[in-house]
Amino acid sequence: MALWPEDLALREPDTGNHPEEVGHGSEPVAGKPWQWASYVTRPTMTIYRPKGEDAGTTLLVLPGGGYAAVAMDLEGTEICDWATGKGMTCVILKYRVPQDWPRNEEGVREPPEVLLALQDVQRAIGLLRARFGIAPSKIGVIGFSAGAHLAAAVSNAETRTYPKVDDADDLSSRPDFAIMMYTGRLWYTANAPTDLSLAPWVSISKKAPPTLLIHAMDDPVNDVRHPMAYALALEKAGVPVDLRIYSGGGHAFGLRPTSDPITTQWPAQVEQWLRNISAL
C-alpha cells in the first residue's frame, strides 16, 4: 500500500526519470539469487499478518541496498517468513532510492541534505500506529546494512522530517525497539582506527529505544567499529543496548544459512532479546 496520498507532491530521488525497476543481485547469497528494487519514487509498505497466535508485536523491516536499491527478498520477504512464524506482524518498507551520499573533502561519504528514506520510515510507523489495529507500543524496526543505518536515524530523530500530512503524523514516529544487522555509516571512517567516535552527522537521543546490534568481525563492507561506536554512544546516553559480535559471517547474509554460525543463530538471539525487553 502507498505511504503517501497520490496527490501529494513528493521529493524524488535523482532517478533521471527512470521508471521503477527490479533486478537480481550480481552475486548469489548462499547459492541463491536475490532481488532488488530501485528507482523508487512512490514508496510502499506491505503488511504480513502473523501465522497462528498473534504475539502483539510488529516488526517493520528496513532492507539494505546502500541507499541505491532495496533488497526485497533477502532482507525483506524472507525476514517476514520467519517473523510471522513467531506470531509477529511483519511489514516490509520499500523506501525511496537511489539517493547519493556525496563525499566530503576527506573523501568520506556524508548523507544528503534530506534523507528521503527517513521520511518514509517515519510515515510508515505513524500509519501503523493509526490505521491497522496494531498494538501501538510494540512496534519496532529491524534494519540491514543501509536499512540498519536507517533504523538508527529513526530511533534518534526528535521530530518528523516532513510537514504533517494527516492524523497519522500526530502519533510518535519513534520505534519501540530497534534491531540493527551489519550496520554502517555510523563510525567516522576518517578517524584513527582506535577512535570509536561517531560520525558528525549521527546524533544520539536519550529517548532512543532499546537496541540490539549484530555484526561479524570479518564484514568486508561495514567495519565492526560502526556498531561498536554506536553501542558505546547509546550506553553513554543511558539507552539500553546489546551487542552481539561473531568472528565470521561477512555481510548481507540475511536469513540464508552458511557455515558461519551467525547466519543460523541470529534469529534466536533476536527472539530471546525481544522477550528480554518484554516486546514479544
**H-helix or E-strand containing 263?**
helix 262-276
- Per-residue pLDDT reduced to its tens digit, 253-266: 999 999 999 999 99
What residue segments make up the domains of the chain, in order of their start? 34-101+108-276
Backbone angles phi, psi at 8, to 5 degrees: -85, 125
Beta strands in the chain (DSSP E): 21-24, 35-38, 44-48, 58-62, 70-71, 89-94, 139-144, 177-181, 211-216, 241-246
pLDDT tens readout for residues 136-149? 999 999 999 999 99
The pLDDT of residue 69 is above 90: yes
Question: According to the model, what pLDDT value does residue 216 have?
Answer: 98
Can you tell me the mean pLDDT for 232-252?
Answer: 98
Q: Model confidence over 159-186: pLDDT tens digits?
A: 999 999 999 999 999 999 999 999 999 9
For residue 34, what pLDDT band results from cuts at 50, 70 and 90? very high
pLDDT on residue 104: 87
pLDDT of res. 28: 93
**Whether residue 48 has pLDDT greater than 90:** yes
Q: What is the mean pLDDT of residues 193-202?
A: 93
Tell me which of 28-32, 63-67, 187-191, 195-199 is least confident: 187-191
Q: What is the mean pLDDT of the chain?
A: 96
Closest CA to 203 of 154, 144, 262, 252: 154
Binned at pLDDT 50, 70 and 90, residue 192 comes out as confident
Task: Please provide the CATH number assigned to the domain covering 34-101+108-276.
Answer: 3.40.50.1820
Strands (E), 135-280: 139-144, 177-181, 211-216, 241-246
β-sheet bridge partners, residue 242? 212
Q: What is the pTM of this model?
A: 0.97
Give the pLDDT of residue 1.
96
pLDDT in tens, 81-122: 999 999 999 999 999 999 999 988 888 889 998 999 999 999
In 95-203 the beta strands, taken as DSSP E runs, fall at 139-144, 177-181
Residue 62: pLDDT above 90? yes
The whole-number average pLDDT for the span 247-251 is: 97
* Residue 17 pLDDT greater than 90, yes or no: no
Average pLDDT of 195-221? 97
| pLDDT-based confidence at residue 16 (cuts at 50, 70, 90) | confident
Grid cell listed for 135: 498494538
Residue 143 pairs with which residues in a beta bridge? 62, 180
Integer Cα distance of 158 and 249 in angstroms: 34
Q: Categorize the per-residue pLDDT at 15 as very low, low, confident or very high, splitting at 50, 70 and 90.
A: confident
